[in-house]
């Protein structure tokens, strides 16, 4: 994950510049987000019913779209115009006596030789990965490192003619392993590991001679378990969005997906961040747990967008059939973003048609709706509490207060331990 999310959003959403630059620290973890299964008595008025609204405001009933259009509502990761690595190379650098290097170095080669690589990166214009001979640094890892320190370690290794790195190469991802016990302070000031800490990030920087090189940091937050998922995560992002913060490529979702940007405040929007809440997979030709990566193509086909799919996993989602309005919302940075949403003034209601989408036979799943962060600006009523692929539900949204800041909400689809969420946003007309 990069630390330039709000700059990227500014470019794609036409945001007003924030008062100060902010960043979203990389996060890790495979737990799905919170979900609540609705009770049967949570059903609201069906379309056409006399739904009461505050101040006697009229209820707007949105037109329904064909069920085949449901997949078009699923987010897409879009390019900011920067270059991807068409012929990427990777070199792993490790400090002296790093025990996890013995696992992560061969993992890089396994990823490059696997079907996983093309499955997760080819659609973004990335070609085959070449893994160079790893470099073992002679020094021990310090107790603390800043991002500037990381850049210095890489720069010094490149300047050292005996390191084996050769001349600086802007198509090589210089990937530094950080052993357990070393605390890293990232570019945005967040620290590694611990509660809310990150386990990896990637960026680029200019060497003294002017060459800009991409680099990645993989932090070993466990003394016993090598961060294989983090290595795969950062490599995929570094090749599809290598030259950040200067020239972002596949780094964020589009204006149509404003609800995701406002509602999903933990994950970023690069291709690995988008699947951060999905459990890792262990491909047979890799033999280690690796991150799942967002596929725009799979999303548009109505299939699980986090590839490769886990064995026996079914994908299901409940989404609006139509997101008809353009609204504005305030991001955590303080910047304003404009995109697709639902326009409602205080006291107004509207009925939104929801469609149920799955990529295979899935028993009926529960659906519930909540305002992000537990707010009460919006109220929600559903006419059904669960459904299956092909079914339709009707959601009545009422604005109880001013929606000018933009109010994000989540449509949670839950079945047992499995959960998928679609994010929407309500703004002022």
| pLDDT for position 268 | 85
The tokens of 250 are what? 């596949």
pLDDT of residue 48: 36
Q: Which CATH architecture has domain 38-74+317-427?
A: Sandwich (2.60)
Positive/negative CA dihedral, 284, 285, 290, 296? negative
Burial 70-82 (b: 16+ CB within 10 A, else e): bbbbbbbbbbbeb
What are the φ/ψ torsions at residue 358 (nearest 5 degrees)?
-145, 165
Instruction: Read off the pTM.
Output: 0.85
Looking at residue 196, its pLDDT comes to 82
pLDDT tens readout for residues 51-79: 334 444 556 666 554 545 899 999 999 99
pLDDT at position 46? 38
Query: pLDDT under 50 in the chain at which residues?
Result: 2-56, 65, 67
Beta carbons of 251 and 202 less than 8 angstroms apart: no
**Domain regions of the chain by residue span:** 1-30+75-301, 38-74+317-427
Residue range 154-192, pLDDT digits in tens: 999 999 987 889 999 999 999 999 999 999 999 999 999
Kindly report each contact of residues 99-104 with a partner whose C-beta sits within 8 Å and lies 24 or more positions away, as own/partner.
Answer: 99/179, 100/177, 100/179, 100/180, 100/220, 100/226, 100/227, 101/134, 101/136, 101/177, 103/226, 103/228, 103/288, 104/177, 104/218, 104/226, 104/227, 104/228, 104/231
How many Å from the N-terminal Cα to the C-terminal Cα in the chain?
Answer: 34
């Amino acid at each position: 994950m990069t630390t330039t999310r709000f700059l990227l959003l500014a470019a794609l959403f036409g945001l007003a510049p924030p008062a100060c630059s902010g960043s979203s620290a990389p996060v890790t973890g495979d737990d799905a987000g919170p979900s609540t299964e609705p009770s049967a008595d949570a059903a609201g008025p069906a379309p056409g019913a006399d739904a009461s609204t505050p101040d006697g405001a009229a209820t707007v009933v949105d037109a329904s779209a064909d069920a085949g259009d449901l997949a078009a509502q699923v987010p897409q990761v879009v390019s900011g115009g920067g270059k991807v690595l068409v012929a990427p190379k990777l070199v792993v650098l490790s400090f002296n006596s790093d025990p996890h290097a013995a696992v992560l170095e061969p993992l890089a080669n396994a990823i490059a030789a696997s079907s996983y690589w093309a499955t997760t990166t080819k659609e973004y214009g990335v070609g085959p990965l070449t893994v160079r001979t790893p470099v073992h640094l002679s020094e021990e890892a310090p107790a603390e490192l800043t991002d500037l320190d990381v850049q210095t370690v890489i720069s010094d290794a490149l300047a050292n003619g005996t390191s084996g790195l050769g001349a600086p190469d802007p198509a090589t991802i210089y990937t530094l392993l950080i052993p357990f016990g070393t605390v890293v302070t990232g570019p945005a000031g967040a620290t590694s590991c611990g509660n809310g800490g990150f386990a990896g990030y990637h960026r680029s920087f200019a060497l003294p001679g002017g060459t800009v090189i991409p680099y990645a940091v993989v932090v070993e937050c466990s003394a016993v378990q090598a961060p294989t998922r983090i290595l795969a995560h950062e490599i995929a992002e570094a090749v599809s969005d290598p030259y950040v913060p200067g020239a972002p490529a596949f780094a964020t979702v589009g204006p149509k997906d404003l609800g995701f940007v406002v509602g999903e405040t933990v994950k970023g929007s690069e291709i690995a961040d988008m699947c951060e809440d999905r459990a890792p997979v262990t491909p047979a030709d890799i033999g280690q747990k690796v991150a799942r990566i967002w596929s725009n193509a799979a999303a548009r086909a109505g299939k699980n967008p986090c590839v490769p799919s886990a064995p026996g996993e079914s994908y299901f989602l409940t989404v609006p059939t139509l997101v008809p309005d353009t609204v504005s919302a305030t991001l955590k940075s303080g910047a304003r973003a404009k995109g697709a949403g639902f326009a409602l003034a205080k006291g107004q209601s509207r009925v939104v048609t929801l469609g149920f989408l799955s990529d295979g036979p899935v028993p009926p799943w529960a659906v519930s709706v909540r305002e992000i962060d537990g707010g009460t600006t919006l109220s929600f009523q559903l006419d059904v509490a669960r459904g299956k692929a092909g079914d339709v539900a009707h959601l009545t949204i009422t604005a109880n207060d001013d929606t000018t800041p933009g109010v994000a909400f989540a449509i949670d689809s839950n079945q047992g331990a499995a959960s998928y969420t679609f994010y929407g946003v309500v703004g002022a007309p």
